[in-house]
Amino acid sequence: MRPLAAPPWLRDLAGAWIFYTVLPAWPRPQPRFERIARFAPWIGLLQGLLQGLLWCWAEPWLPSGARVALVLALGLWLTGGIHADGAMDTADGLAAGERALEAMDDSRIGASGVLALVQVLLLRGAALLTMAELNLGPLVALALVWAGVWGRIAPLLAMERFPYLRPAGTAAYHKRHWLGLGRELRPSLLLLVPLTLVGASMGWPWQGWLGLLPAWLVPHRLGRRLGGHSGDTYGACVEWVETLTLLLLALTVLVAGVG
């Protein structure tokens, strides 16, 4: 008797696991890569949870600066740098003007790309250090989870709103199999509701939703600037939305504390 075939959504989830992380592949089911972007926020949840666990585990015995460095390094390792590479290539493209796509295709990283990655890491580190100084405890872990989820919702908004710049590109399958924002966002909604409830139980009833602003603004600005999106700009959306979400959360808590 032949085993029952896995549902397509589960195969896409297995494909998202393989595509967006360096973690060992699942033994089954056979992965599918048609609609993996809809499950990218679940990968963001996993990344945020692992980073948050590392933060909480190291808090009693490591200084804040060391914890920030470890958490940032873990995030880069878990993704294999796939989104960071996109952020750097996008920065080089933006700096190249009319030759944007050509610059983004170049495997060499220019000065603009290096500066973009440095800025992302510095700003993200500043946000985490601010929250550490405010003694937020496990709320820092929750902030990392929210940032990971919103960072991966942002490309979904880009896919819905803008054309894909390279029809023959490696990420073109996202648009080929796109079924509309409503359907592609359903897995994300399954995360946002319980995360909101968890946040409310920890004293953050609405703060996690601050990530909605950068999740909309970053893909919109990049899409308008370049006339569309590519795999590189999807990665840039992830990196910048994660960073801005952490900054907004840190600034909100800081201002509330000052007030």
Looking at residue 172, what DSSP letter applies? T
For the full predicted model, state whether its pTM sits above 0.75: yes
Return all residues near 100 (Cβ < 8 A) that are at least 6 apart.
93, 94, 226
The pLDDT of residue 214: 98
Looking at residue 60, what DSSP letter applies? T
| Amino acid identity, position 23 | L
21 alpha-carbon distance from chain centroid: 12
Gyration radius from the chain CA atoms = 18
* 178, 101, 212, 208: CA torsion to nearest 10: 110
Rounded CA separation 215/152 (Å)? 8
pLDDT in tens, 58-113: 999 999 999 999 999 999 999 999 999 999 999 999 998 888 888 888 888 899 99
Rounded CA separation 189/229 (Å)? 24
Looking at residue 26, what DSSP letter applies? P
Return all residues near 95 (Cβ < 8 A) that are at least 6 apart.
103, 110, 112
The pLDDT of residue 256: 80
The pLDDT of residue 192: 95
Rounded CA separation 219/28 (Å)? 34
The pLDDT of residue 102: 87
Task: Say how many Å lie between the first and final Cα of the chain, rounded.
Answer: 67
Q: Give start and end residues of each alpha helix (H) in the chain.
A: 8-20, 40-58, 64-79, 82-95, 100-105, 111-133, 138-161, 173-176, 181-184, 186-201, 212-226, 231-258
Report the share of the chain in percent with pLDDT over 90: 78
> pLDDT tens track of the chain, all 259 residues?
455 678 999 999 999 999 999 999 998 889 999 899 999 999 999 999 999 999 999 999 999 999 999 999 999 999 999 999 999 999 999 998 888 888 888 888 899 999 999 999 999 999 999 999 998 989 999 999 999 999 999 999 999 999 998 776 667 778 888 889 999 999 999 999 999 999 999 999 999 999 999 999 999 999 999 999 999 999 999 999 999 999 999 999 988 865 3
